[in-house]
Every structure is written in C-alpha cells, then in structure tokens.
Structure 1
Amino acid sequence: MATKSFSLNTEPHVASVGETDLLFQPEVMGDEFMDALGELRDVQKAASGVDLEDLQTLDPDALRAASRALRGFLAQLMLPESAALFTSLEVIADGARVATYQDREEAQQHADGIAGAKVQDALRLPDRVLVELMEWVTELYGGGADKRPPTSSSASAPRSRTGGRRGMGVSPSKASTPAAGR
C-alpha cells in the first residue's frame, strides 16, 4: 500500500505592503475561495460598462465599486484584524480623521453632513498593489495560473514521428561535413 503525506499551512501568509503587514488565512477551502471569487466577478461584471478608452463616459462610482469589491474579495481571505483594517473607510475633514466606518454608505452619509469632508480608504493603496495582491492570493489559494493539469497541451510530450523512413536528402548544412554514424 502506498502512503502519501500532505502538509497543511498553519501559519498565516503575510503580504507586506509598505510598513503594514496584512495577514491572510493559512489555508482556504476551495469552495470558499471560489465563492469569494464569484462575488468579485459579479460586481466586476456589473461595473464592466466602464470604457477606459473613453474617459468622457468614465463613471467614478463604478470604478469605486469595482475597487471596493476587490478589497472585499481580498478581505474575505484575510485574518479578521487585517480584514477590518483593509476595508475600513475614514471620513476626513480639514485634513483630520473624523470617523471610521466599514460601510461606504454610512461613511458617505456622515461626510455629507460635514462641509468639505470626504471618504477615503483607511489603508490607501495604489490600484496596482490591489491587483498584485489579487494575483498573489489567486496563486496561493487557487493553484495559480501557471499550474496546468498534466493533460494540458503545454505539458504534453512532443509529437511522435510519423511512420516511414527518414529522408535521404542531404542537408545543406551537413553537405560539407559528413558526420560519422548518421
């Protein structure tokens, strides 16, 4: 009887972003990962009317919703403390934080009641970092895009030679220097 041991990660994965460490769950079950990814795709599909080539019709609210969905997806894979930081929104007035929320609508309501106030992410990150985090967690929990099943064409053995004899013609590169044994 053959025995194979499989290890499970028990230590959180750490994404160091600037001076902040975001802790991700050591293991995520496949269905949980796929459910979170499905939710993200649903929101992205709803915001897919955004045409980056036509900046005249750019809807900032749709882009914010897509960014929020990406943060929500990543937060579902984080440990609770990191998730809370990652999804927190701050109401900023006169350059100072007035309040912190988890819900965008509540934060916006509060900001609307204060002249000149705005809502921003507590942990502000460039979009490229959010995309890099998504790629990283997809590789961690989803097996990565570069891992293909052994039956995929890129992992297949080279094509077998066709039947028959090899051609007897002389290759121009070998015409002047015959090789022994060929």
Structure 2
Amino acid sequence: MAKKSFALNTEPHVASVGDAELLFQPEVMGDEFMDALGELREAQKAASGIDLEDLQTLDPDALRSASRGLRGFLAQLMLPESAELFTRLDVVADGAVVASYQDRDEAQKHADGIEGARVLDALRLPDRVLVELMEWVTELYGGGADQRPPTSSSASAPRSQKGGRRGMGVSPSRVSTPAAGR
C-alpha cells in the first residue's frame, strides 16, 4: 500500500516592509485566491484609463483606484490586523492624523471639510513595493515553487542516471591530433 504525507503551512507568511511586518494567511484555498484575483481584475478594468505613455492626460483618480484595487487584493490574503493597517486611510491636517477610515470616499468627505487636509494611506508604500508584494503572494498561493513547505523542497536527491550502458564511441573532441615532436 502506498502512503504519502502532505505538509500544510501553519505559520503566517511574513512580508517585512520597512518597519512594518505584514502577516499573510499560512494557506489560502485555491477558490479564495482566484476570487480575490478576479476582484482585482475587475478593479483594474474600472481603472483602465491609465496610459503611462501619456502622462499629461493621466487621471490621478484612475491611478489611485488601481492602487486601491491592488491593496484590496493583497488585504484579502492577510491576517485581519495586517489587512486593517494595509487598507487604512488617514485624514491628515497640519501634519497630524485627525481621523482614520477604511473607505476612500468617507475619508475624502471628511478631508474636504477641513482646510488643507489630505487623505493618505496609513502605510505609505511605493507602487513598486505593491507590485512586488503581488508577485510574491502569487508565488505563495498560486503554486509558485519558492514557498512550498520544507517537506517538498528542491533539496531532494539528484535525478537518477539514464538506464543502459554508457557508449564506448570516441568523442570528436578526444580524437588525437598530430603534436610536435611525435
């Protein structure tokens, strides 16, 4: 009788970003990952007016929408405390946080009522880091080989030699050539 054991990750995955540690779910079921990815694609379709080749006509709201969609996708795969920090929006006036929200429209409405207030991500990150996080979680949950549990590591025994005997023919590189003095 054949028996095979499969390891499951039980410890959260950790993404260290600056001083923050974002904790991601140890395992995500395939349908949950695909649902989150589908929602991200829908959000990106809504923000499809982004043309990086023509920065003069770039709509900042479309770019913000794309960034929020990416943050939402990543947050769905995080543990709740990390997701809350990652998606939180702060209303900042005179260098101080005056309110925090999860919804951009609510945050903007509050900021509009305060002179000089702005809405900022609580955890401000460059877009390149968001993209790197997306690539990392896609490897983690989408079947990438880099983050498999230790029992399935690539550090296993090397592959076996092919069957049969080794050929006895002379390799062209081993054919003798005339040498001086012989």
In the aligned structure 2, how far is the partner of 1:136 from the partner of 1:65?
A: 21
Counterpart in the other structure of 1:112: 112
Amino acid at match of 1:66: A
Amino acid at match of 2:34: M
CA RMSD of aligned residues (A): 1.8
Q: C-alpha deviations, 1:90-114, integer Å up to 9, x for none?
A: 0000111100100101000000000
Counterpart in the other structure of 2:42: 42
In the aligned structure 1, how far is the partner of 2:83 from the partner of 2:174?
A: 66
In the aligned structure 2, how far is the partner of 1:126 from the partner of 1:2?
A: 50
Q: C-alpha deviations, 1:44-67, integer Å up to 9, x for none?
A: 122122111111210000000000
TM-score under structure 1 length normalisation: 0.79
In the aligned structure 1, how far is the partner of 2:123 from the partner of 2:77?
A: 17
Amino acid at match of 1:21: E
Q: Percent identity among equivalent residues?
A: 84
Amino acid at match of 1:143: G
In the aligned structure 2, how far is the partner of 1:175 from the partner of 1:124?
A: 66
In the aligned structure 2, how far is the partner of 1:3 from the partner of 1:67?
A: 46
Counterpart in the other structure of 1:88: 88
Structure 1 position 16, deviation (Å): 0.5
* 1:111/1:67 CA distance change after superposition, 3 Å: same
Query: May I ask how many residue pairs the two structures share in their alignment?
Result: 153
Amino acid at match of 1:31: D
* 1:76/1:138 CA distance change after superposition, 3 Å: same
Q: Which runs of 5+ in 2 are unaligned?
A: 147-171
Amino acid at match of 1:119: V
Is 1:123 aligned with 2:123?
yes
Structure 1 position 177, deviation (Å): 3.6
Amino acid at match of 1:140: L
Q: Larger relative CO (CA 8 A, sep 6+): 1 or 2? A: 2
Is 1:4 aligned with 2:4?
yes
Counterpart in the other structure of 1:60: 60
In the aligned structure 2, how far is the partner of 1:115 from the partner of 1:145?
A: 51
Counterpart in the other structure of 2:19: 19
Structure 1 position 144, deviation (Å): 2.7
Structure 1 position 20, deviation (Å): 0.6
Structure 1 position 176, deviation (Å): 8.1
